[in-house]
Structure 1
């Protein structure tokens, strides 16, 4: 009778231990499955698709130096050496506060515009979510405005603002696409040719043709009821060369600043008003 009890308790102990192990393994598997979210690589290699911003962000504690250059109208021909005699330059710096937040400061020669920007990740593409969502905000100061032209000019009149939601998807290793709803507010504007508040929608994409080269395109529709300025249309090419990315640009906009590029376009692709240039990003 005593031996039977011993066998009974031994079997009970090993059965309980076995079931406990199975429950523990199931719990570990559940925890692992919850943590194994696969984050997709960035949809774009460069911080800009062409001139408009992409969902790419600067990594934490990284510094980027930005040099953007736009030459004159190529349709002027040999007289201005196909636009090379005229140029507009933007110099800037970008710092990664965290992996998901960066700040930037730049200055463009055209309109002598300073821009202070912030870019921040809201959502990230993964096997559980279909897109990257990034916010982008800019405040710009046009220091070219003169009191000789505007006698009652105040500092606030020089300011304009941009808010964008960048929504991108890496469709495949070769192809990425982005939708960019945008809003621009200008404190000083000419009502006969533009509105104080302007809404735009941008569509851009990137197609990788080799390990280090891709072709890019972007187009913005401005819903402002003006007749003077055009919608920006740009084509480009990304070339990765070691520590920096070099972008060749063909656009109907000569401006490099975010707000100027979106709302002050004068070139017409149909008439050959194209501005050639480049963007150069160097990381430190």
Structure 2
């Protein structure tokens, strides 16, 4: 008896299987390439360059989100070298209370009141450019800042000053780059204009260049630093550059900032042109900032 094997059907089935495998593999490869291409073409904005709207004394590029209200308490004790009688500065304190509100994700406004010189301040911040990744993304973020501060302190026995003479204005361009998930650096060219100065040789316009950095240490802890260099002039000759070092501590909706600095004030009017403390001689103020965010309206 002769047995005839069905070679024709077997060959046809093998050919179909061999042809289907490359086709399926090619389809998977195309899907992976499409996915990679889509990811490479996607542009993403960099977030959390800094964790708060302030680095330490000065502003960061960050603003509250749209509809978010930020309540800030800033506290500054006396100098550490004031001695045991003043409990090394803890018996003395100045404070600032502030509110910041995000009109949009880019535009924010704020107000505050400082006990130092009984000063009221108001400001606006606008996120002009934002760092990102992907095609056409920018390597840095730029935020514009402008503020006005009004001293309500009584100047006795001197003649009472006019409201205009009590005003001080600050203008800043904040340029920052987040180099990695841990390191962020910010540059802060600054102009402070004072309508009134005590002496003719004093400067109404004070220029300064600030530098700030944040180095993340753990998931919720970061080391921060801030320095303002006064450009040469009468103010630089009679006052000191502001220096501050501190830690950011994240706890849920709060951000605690503990720091030491040679500046007693907590707004640009005091920090940049009026710092007198010598950091190396113990004229160091210990202080903290605490912020809490409240979402007042839904995001668009």
TM range (shorter): 0.7 to 0.9
- Superposition pairs of residues 1-284 of structure 1, within 5 angstroms: 36-127=42-133, 128-146=137-155, 148-151=157-160, 153-191=161-199, 194-226=202-234, 227-284=237-294
Cα distance in 1 for residues equivalent to 2:269 and 2:48 = 25
Count of residues in correspondence between the two structures: 255
CA contact (8 A) 2:263 2:276 kept: yes
- Give how far 1:190 is off: 2.1
Pair 1:195–1:213, CA change in 2 (3 A): same
Cα distance in 1 for residues equivalent to 2:81 and 2:182 = 33
Cα distance in 1 for residues equivalent to 2:85 and 2:186 = 38
Cα distance in 1 for residues equivalent to 2:159 and 2:281 = 34
- Give how far 1:36 is off: 2.2
Instruction: Determine helix, strand or coil for the equivalent of 2:244.
Output: strand
Cα distance in 2 for residues equivalent to 1:63 and 1:282 = 8
What's the C-alpha RMSD, in Å, of the aligned pairs?
Answer: 2.0
Instruction: Determine helix, strand or coil for the equivalent of 1:263.
Output: coil
Cα distance in 2 for residues equivalent to 1:193 and 1:48 = 32
CA contact (8 A) 1:116 1:138 kept: yes
Instruction: Determine helix, strand or coil for the equivalent of 1:94.
Output: strand
TM-score by length of 2: 0.81
- Give how far 1:147 is off: 6.3
Gaps of 5+ in 2: 1-33, 295-300
Cα distance in 1 for residues equivalent to 2:184 and 2:218 = 14
Gaps of 5+ in 1: 1-27
CA contact (8 A) 2:58 2:267 kept: no
Cα distance in 1 for residues equivalent to 2:79 and 2:201 = 22
Aligned residue number for residue 17 of structure 1: none
TM-score by length of 1: 0.85
